[in-house]
Amino acid sequence: MYQRIRDLREDRDLLQKDVAAYLKCTQVCYSNYETGKRDIPTEVLIQLACLYHTSTDYILGLTDNSAPPVPRKA
């Protein structure tokens, strides 16, 4: 998961400080997410999935399909 969020960030030519600003946290805090020194809260995981237009399952490594999830009809 940690390598995956780094790869997603780098693929979009974003800096850690850019993603940290989006998440409203410090660059150090975000760096700790990428290195696995700090667990990623569920709300941050969801924000990252929205930022990168992918699913939380992809970020967590449960699937290799990076396509965004299809919304369910109620």
- 57, 58, 59, 60: CA torsion to nearest 10: 50
Mean pLDDT of 4-8: 95
For the entire predicted model, the pTM comes to: 0.86
Mean pLDDT of 67-73: 75
Q: What crossing angle do the helices spanning 42-52 and 16-23 adopt, rounded to 10°?
A: 120
- Which residue ranges form the domains of the chain, and what is each CATH number? 1-58 (1.10.260.40)
Q: Give residue-wise pLDDT tens across range 12-68.
A: 999 999 999 999 999 999 999 999 999 999 999 999 999 999 999 999 999 888 887
Q: CA-to-CA distance for 47 and 59, rounded, in angstroms? A: 11
